Structure 1
């Protein structure tokens, strides 16, 4: 029997056969298999040829709003005591002349030396320091001068006593950052008996009169010593310069730095806490994010005048720019999409590769797929922060217009499926964990910096609220408003 030809005729998407009596069954079966395979390839795997969306360069202006770090600055009393004891001289009063005149205009015939017997102790009530100074009093009284008797030396009475002087110093700080102390005498308490000749002569009144007469000079010397030795201007100038040095907040791949541009310092009330001095301070500044191993930056070395306020809020209110590199976003996409198969109305689409990048104000999602459709697919949408869920979501998300045109001609079923919504869901990026790491990164950066070596910062409450998302060439930039209660304690003075 002669072989007969078979002809396949398409009808309503099905193949049927006419005159289908083959010469042998094996040839028919092979022909059927080849035909079915060709039909599957022709209908089930559409090759698409799409174009990458063109992107116009867009100049994005990100605002640099002023941040305010308002915090109580706690200065431990021990630091003030150490500074005061190092700055004060050993001699409080040194009168080495018998011929000084007393109130009555006569020679007092006394030499009086008053030296520190121990460390000065300080306690605070608001901005008033109560200083208790234990003193050693060395008194020499000339009983008979060498002009009265033909002796080579005078007949002297030498005695040592101890007493406690209490001063009160009110501290103010001028616009030039110099301390303005105002010290007043408050009380005197004897720590030992002040008598001579076995108690026959009581010297308390004599010594007290001598001290009271010299008290204005003693107080003036104390104020001068505080002004010249406690150099707050020098300390704050170092702080002003050091806070301008970038702080590392991310070490992944490229280093990310936070650069602070300070504007001014303000000072409010001065109070006490557990006998420590507490000054309410506020720093006004703008912030900037730098990238790279050694970013270039400048420092304004001139400390501006101090601005005094009646009161300041106890809260930090800062604007930070949090950068989210596309590398991080693409890692999330890989976990969500790579190798995943989507079943859509009898079709199968497998995602082999997924990535995103910025295109003007939009994000582009690029997929390489195979299965019922094979090729590259592009989506576009605008990122937006959703406060309730603390996630980045994509608004106006849709197929790129060039991809849509190709799919209309070859795989329109994909346009009318849920595939677009599934991709939009995959692009929903949670930020809660990333935001939670910001306080730790900031505090770690501060502690590593030079400011952290002089001050100890404690954050009692954080509240992070991203406000706006911008698309940049290297990644997304989120404007984050930070509200916090911060406490700073000086460790070096």
Structure 2
């Protein structure tokens, strides 16, 4: 009787244990503690930029008139050629573009003192006359670019007198302009040289270019909440020949530079404008590459992933679970997903995986995903069916989320800087974006940051000489 009672007790205990293994249990797995790298994240890329420097005829005309003014030629010696001459610029120089060169019209006011007469029987009979004449010089200039300067080679193509007074010499009317034309040939050369000197002095674009690059190279905190920085370091600058067309003088400069994104600290790239050299080049690349940051908070990522589990019940045979809550954080470069479950097992389980990107689906997913289990805890052994069975596979399929919105936002931000962005007055950035591709995923203490490689073409136009 006693033995029978013992057998009944034993059988009942086994039945209870067996039943307990197949019904709801409260299980708490080992919770991984958050940990994040404190290293600065660098994404440095070599990029190429086109910097078309364009100077309109209006700007160039203003510069020439500013530096070429007042008295432009003077000859105070009468005895050598029977003439004294002073020449002033009488009105603004007018510029036009024609056949790849610059045409100029320069109105002049001329004062001349002319000595004239004749010699008869060894006697020199002379008289002098002072003249005030108006004339217009026509010039044409070929433009080149060298050592940061636009320079010109100017030639006089014509001279028109507004009037032509005459004087009677030996009974003949002699035009006074005829008498002073030898002096005109002299001062035409001097005026052409003065214009060339004025253009070279006034058209030094070095301070404009270097100041613009210096401003643009200062590190910018593009996202203050997550301390994401962008930096630019110009490396080399190239230029091709000057072109006169479409009512402007232009050259295209090519900039080779580092672009760097960093997190938690300012970029390491630095720009020293005194060391930037200008070199000639036949062909200039125009592609740029920059790393931008796509940021998703852990709370947002949890919500996106939670949407995959809403209303879903995962079953395997007689067992089933429902994921009620998801939390996400980082540990040692891996993403931890806390699954709050109800059903055949109640409690929190933890998944660990390496975050990666699916370019086709534009989704973040976890590679090498597996449950974090405490092998020393016997209760967890009872949940082995969860960690390694059909339900586990179904759970892993749902541990992903789309970053299409973040890519669209990143594209919008880049395009903002490529649509006439003006960092300083007279400097405009334009361009096109050709591709966006996520690269590296970084887990920080408060967000998941995806470094996105942006490619395109860009031009930085410098316009408006002061």
Out of 400, 404, 409, the position equivalent to 2:372 is 400
The alpha carbon displacement at 1:343 in A equals: 3.2
- Residues 1:113 and 2:87 aligned together: yes
* C-alpha distance in structure 2 between counterparts of 1:440 and 1:63, whole Å: 23
Map Cα deviations across residues 390-435 of structure 1 (whole Å, 9 max, x no partner). 3333221121243897775233332344444444344433334323
| 1:268 equivalenced with 2:232 (yes/no) | no
- 1:246 is aligned to 219
Distance 1:336 1:401 in 2: 25
Superimposed CA distance per residue, residues 292-325 of structure 1 (whole angstroms, 9 cap, x where no aligned partner): 7x96989645332333232334422314152534
Q: What is the CA-CA distance between 1:198 and the residue it aligns to?
A: 9.7
The answer for the alignment partner of 2:153 in structure 1 is: 183
CA change 1:52–1:63 in 2 (3 A) is same
SS at match of 1:451: strand
Of 165, 168, 171, which aligns to 1:196? Answer: 165
Q: 1:180 to 1:230 in 2, by over 3 A?
A: closer
1:224 aligns with 2:194: no
| Matched-pair contact (CA < 8 Å) for 1:195–1:201 | no
Higher relative contact order, structure no. (Cα contacts within 8 Å, ≥ 6 residues apart)? 2
Is the CA contact (8 Å cut-off) linking 2:55 and 2:464 kept in structure 1?
A: no
Say which SS state the counterpart of residue 357 (structure 1) adopts: strand
In the TM superposition, 1:307-456 aligns within 5 A as: 307-327=278-298, 329-330=300-301, 332-333=303-304, 336=307, 340-345=311-316, 346-402=318-374, 409-442=381-414, 444=416, 451-456=423-428
Structure 2 distance, partners of 1:406, 1:225, is 91
More strand by share: 2
Q: Which residue of 1 aligns with 2:123?
A: none
TM superposition shift of 1:81: 2.0
**What residue number does 2:186 align with?**
213
Q: Hey, what does 2:68 align to over in structure 1?
A: 89
Query: Which of 380-389 and 423-432 deviates more?
Result: 423-432
Matches of 1:368 and 1:352, distance apart in 2:
5
How far residue 84 of structure 1 moved from its aligned partner, in angstroms, is 2.0
Q: 1:170 to 1:402 in 2, by over 3 A?
A: same
Matched residue, 2:124? none
8 Å Cα contact 1:68-1:317 kept in structure 2: yes
SS at match of 1:434: helix
Aligned residues: 444
Q: Give, in angstroms, the shift of residue 119 of structure 1.
A: 3.7
1:297 to 1:404, Cα distance in 2 relative to 1, 3 A = same
Q: State the partner residue of 2:120.
A: none
Which ranges in structure 2 are unaligned for 5 or more consecutive residues?
1-7, 118-126
| Helix, strand or coil at the partner of 2:288 | strand
Structure 1's 122 and 250: CA in aligned 2 closer, same or farther, altered over 3 A? farther
Report if the CA contact (8 A) 1:265-1:281 is conserved: yes
Is the Cα–Cα contact under 8 Å of residues 166 and 176 in structure 2 kept in the other structure? no
Q: Give 1:373 shift.
A: 1.7
TM-score (normalised: structure 2): 0.78
Residues 96-139 of structure 1, C-alpha deviations (whole Å, 9 max, x = no match): 52x246xxxx33324231315224314276xx651413312324
Pick aligned residue for 2:131 from 158, 177, 182: 158
CA distance in 2, matches of 1:484, 1:215: 50
